[in-house]
Structure 1
Amino acid sequence: MILKGVNILDGDGWRKGVDIEIADGHVASISQSVAIPGAKTVFPGLVDLQVNGGDGLMLGDCQSAADIRRIMAAHRRLGTGFILPTLISDSMEVTARVIDLTAQAMADEPGLLGLHLEGPHLAVPGAHDPAKLRPMTEADLSLYLDAKARLGSLMITLAPEQVSLPQISALAEAGITVSLGHSACDYDMAIAAFDAGGRMATHLYNAMSGVHHRAPGLVGAALDRAEAFGLIADGHHVHDACLRLAARARPDALMLVSDAMAVAGTDVTRFQLNGRAIQRREGRLTLADGTLAGADTSLLDSVMYLAQVLNRPPVDTLPFAFDRPWRLLTGAPARIADGTRAQFCVSDADGITSFDNGEAIFFRPHDHSA
């Protein structure tokens, strides 16, 4: 397959008027061609660093590596190329099992980049089971250091109230991505955690201390100091004005995440999280008391929603979903280059098509009414 006269948008910027040859599931060559008005845009596969489930499964309920690959497949069918499967706060036994299964699943699934442990060392539960939340112990730390060696990429969301600064430093020194979240900490405590090795904040604004002009909280600390922050752009988790504020204040740090749950890629309307029922209704996932419990969206839908909120074309918001997360995990820009796997998306006047191994697997039309 040859994509002729297309424009590439990746972590290195724009390359316009090129031909891309795809062979054996990889990019065989990229050569300069002729720029075409209205040409298609090719960009790297989307990267979602907060995926709690999909295809009817929550990560914590997975019993085999095949189950985790099912979650990946569900998100690939929704236009996402790479994920960090995410474990919502659970016991050490469940955490150890998920680490083992993820390591197995990664062996033959290149879309799995590692693992995200969202908890259990949290202070503000949100939709997490309060009974599962607890301080970090030395046994926990040992488990995480071993997991990093096995998985390559490991992200841990934690609340500064539940860990010590030396524990944060030990995680960071091992190459684990420490993200602050689910916390009522004040600005100074958050800054101390960032200084100790914290790099990002998990789903900015949600389940964390907010901004007051004399008490900036974790939101203020993240906007002031974090290398990156996740943001859920689904029209429910964060007010549109706050999406715009974050995008204007720190476009270099903004990273879209789906926070997707078991319903992703299905028509399921009800499922369980740690024994509690979650209802799916009108684009929202909620516990019985109305608490938001993850998001009913895809990463590509989030890209489109943020573009609408910012009144910008999707090509302006796409890097928030491929380059920023890829750089956070790898330290390198997301690139389309000779020899790379043919995991990319193509945007034209009609919509966006996602490719895996050079084969088209998903199409999302543009919402021209927005």
Structure 2
Amino acid sequence: MTTLRGNILTPSGWQHGSLAFGDTISSLSGIAADPAGNGDDYLLPGFIDLHVHGGGGRDVMEGGDALDTITRTHARHGTTSLLATTMTAPKREIEVALAGVQRAIAQRTPAGARVLGVHLEGPYINPGKLGAQPNFARDGLLAEIAGFGELAPLKVLTLAPEVQGHMELIGDLVARGIRVQLGHTLGSYEDGVQALEHGAISFTHLFNAMSALHHREPGMVGAALAHAEYAELIPDLLHVHPGAIKAALRAIPKLYCVTDSTAAAGMPDGNYKLGRHTVTKCMGGVRLPDGTLAGSTLTLDEALRNLVGLGLEVDDAARRLSTYQAEMLGLDDRGVLKPGARADIVVFDRNLRLKAVYVEGELVPA
């Protein structure tokens, strides 16, 4: 049994006290207190990243043991669970990636983040809005998606709702327990609203790779800002301008943050793989040869600091890195610090330097 003391972010707010845990939290005791009244550490729910392509030089699309390295890399930066995210690719390449995901789910890598399942980002996207996705976009077929789901659990699926047949597909996917996100889309505002009415729940890397907001044509961004409860956003301050982030924070109640990280995360400048692409890390970003942003090098500890730097309180920022993701996936034992929940815990000092990470009670080596 391990016991930590400090400012604990609970579902009801800050408590100053102690947290005891094995693989789950056994007890939490303390008094409601504003952290401003002391200098103790922050104890926050472990971060949950719903959009991870790679890290530590490895890419999800490699399959095999790539996720061993990826999950260890992100755990060292506070991510305690994640969704392995695929690229748009031929069917066989996606199947190889999914086999690797299932391997990682079957047994968590020691000192690595828990893999909760798959975010299938494509191939059911608009070929006119690929962003950094390879050009293998195609129409979605329920039989193919069901086959993918037999290889590894599909938790989130990104699609373009304006593509023929996709609007009707949303309800079938939701009935299978898959969270549908709208992204890589040229769809209109009306397409976005209709997709939400059909059961879509979120938007993939808000603002990026989707039809933009215009005051006479609000686009997919307008649908998100006007109607969404959830949306993911990359807060590396490269993908989205701080002003746009602030607008989204005011408009979308449970805006949550993802890294969209690539193999370049946690690595020096150089060339790395992103699916079939070769991408270059330099000046803090990752780009295709034509300059297109291609995922990120972001980690969620950095995301916390970026959000606080934009003016968010620590508790608000932390919920956007853990709690809202768990709620969107329907999980009640992650993303919160309470008795009975998984002992996924991150410890930060008052300067927001990461001091310790626990994944299901296991201390991750620094």
Give distance in 1, aligned partners of 2:263 and 2:318: 24
Name 1:260's counterpart in structure 2.
261
Q: Does the aligned pair in 1 maintain the 2:8–2:44 contact within 8 Å?
A: yes
Name 1:90's counterpart in structure 2.
89
Name 1:56's counterpart in structure 2.
57
Aligned residue among 131, 135, 143 for 1:126:
131
CA shift in 2, pair 1:92/1:245, >3 Å: same
Q: How does 1:1-370 map to 2 (within 5 A)?
A: 1-4=2-5, 6-10=6-10, 12-23=11-22, 25-32=23-30, 37-62=38-63, 64=64, 66-109=65-108, 111-123=114-126, 124-130=129-135, 132-146=136-150, 151=153, 154-162=155-163, 163-250=165-252, 252-267=253-268, 269-309=270-310, 311-332=311-332, 334-350=335-351, 351-357=353-359, 358=361, 360-361=363-364
Deviation at 1:140, TM superposition (A): 2.0
Name 1:366's counterpart in structure 2.
none
Give the stretch that moved more between structures: 237-246 or 155-164: 155-164
> Aligned residue pairs: how many?
352
CA shift in 2, pair 1:222/1:31, >3 Å: same
Q: Secondary structure at the match of 1:338?
A: coil
Give the stretch that moved more between structures: 48-57 or 269-278: 269-278
Letter in 2 for 1:9: L
Q: Secondary structure at the match of 1:295?
A: coil
Letter in 1 for 2:25: V
Deviation at 1:145, TM superposition (A): 5.0
Q: Tell me the alpha carbon deviations over residues 229-258 of structure 1, each in whole angstroms, 9 at most, x when there is no partner.
A: 1101112111111011111122x2211000
Deviation at 1:67, TM superposition (A): 2.0
Identity %: 30
Q: Secondary structure at the match of 1:128?
A: coil
Give distance in 1, aligned partners of 2:306 and 2:349: 18
Q: Secondary structure at the match of 2:115?
A: coil
Q: Does the aligned pair in 2 maintain the 1:187–1:218 contact within 8 Å?
A: yes
Give distance in 2, aligned partners of 1:160 and 1:272: 28
Q: Does the aligned pair in 2 maintain the 1:145–1:174 contact within 8 Å?
A: no
Give distance in 2, aligned partners of 1:307 and 1:200: 23
Q: Does the aligned pair in 1 maintain the 2:56–2:267 contact within 8 Å?
A: yes
Q: Tell me the alpha carbon deviations over residues 324-347 of structure 1, each in whole angstroms, 9 at most, x when there is no partner.
A: 111101253732233443320123
Q: Tell me the alpha carbon deviations over residues 58-95 of structure 1, each in whole angstroms, 9 at most, x when there is no partner.
A: 11112x2x322221111101221111010011111122
Give distance in 1, aligned partners of 2:101 and 2:121: 15
Give the stretch that moved more between structures: 280-289 or 27-36: 27-36
Deviation at 1:360, TM superposition (A): 4.7
Deviation at 1:196, TM superposition (A): 1.1
Letter in 2 for 1:219: V
CA shift in 2, pair 1:39/1:205, >3 Å: same
Give distance in 2, aligned partners of 1:253 and 1:335: 15
Gap runs ≥5 in structure 1:
364-370
Deviation at 1:359, TM superposition (A): 5.3
Give distance in 1, aligned partners of 2:24 and 2:180: 33
Give distance in 1, aligned partners of 2:251 and 2:216: 18
Q: Does the aligned pair in 1 maintain the 2:203–2:231 contact within 8 Å?
A: yes
CA shift in 2, pair 1:258/1:362, >3 Å: farther
Q: Given the two structures, how large is their TM-score scaled by the length of structure 1?
A: 0.88
Give distance in 1, aligned partners of 2:222 and 2:365: 38
Give distance in 2, aligned partners of 1:335 and 1:222: 26
Q: Does the aligned pair in 1 maintain the 2:263–2:274 contact within 8 Å?
A: no
Q: Secondary structure at the match of 2:86?
A: strand
Q: Does the aligned pair in 2 maintain the 1:50–1:85 contact within 8 Å?
A: yes
Q: Does the aligned pair in 2 maintain the 1:141–1:167 contact within 8 Å?
A: no
Gap runs ≥5 in structure 2:
none
- The two structures, once aligned, show a CA RMSD in angstroms of 2.2
Letter in 1 for 2:265: A
Q: Does the aligned pair in 2 maintain the 1:40–1:346 contact within 8 Å?
A: yes
Letter in 2 for 1:194: L
